[in-house]
Amino acid sequence: MTTTLTAAAKALIARPVLADIATVDHLGNPTITPVWITLDGEDLIFNTSRGRAKHTNLTRNPHVAVSVLDPDDPFGPVVLRGVVEATEEGADANIDALAKKYMGVDSYPMRQPGEVRVIFRVKADTILMQPGDHA
Q: Classify residue 122: in a domain, yes or no.
A: yes
Q: How confident is the model at residue 134 (pLDDT cuts 50, 70, 90)?
A: very low
Q: What is the pTM of this model?
A: 0.92
CATH number at residue 90: 2.30.110.10
Residue 134 lies in a domain: no
For residue 135, name the pLDDT band (cuts at 50, 70, 90): very low
- CA dist 58 and 77 (Å) reads 23
**Residue 133 lies inside a defined structural domain of this protein:** no
> Hey, how many other C-beta atoms are within 10 angstroms of the C-beta on 94?
21
Domain holding 36, by residue range, is 7-128
* Structure confidence by residue, pLDDT tens digits, 37-60: 999 998 999 999 999 999 999 999
Percent of the chain beyond pLDDT 70?
A: 94
Whole-number average pLDDT of the chain = 93
Structural domain count of the chain: 1
For the segment 14-18, the average pLDDT, to the nearest whole number, is 97
Q: Does residue 39 contact residue 17 with C-beta atoms inside 8 Å?
A: no
Structural domain includes residue 106: yes
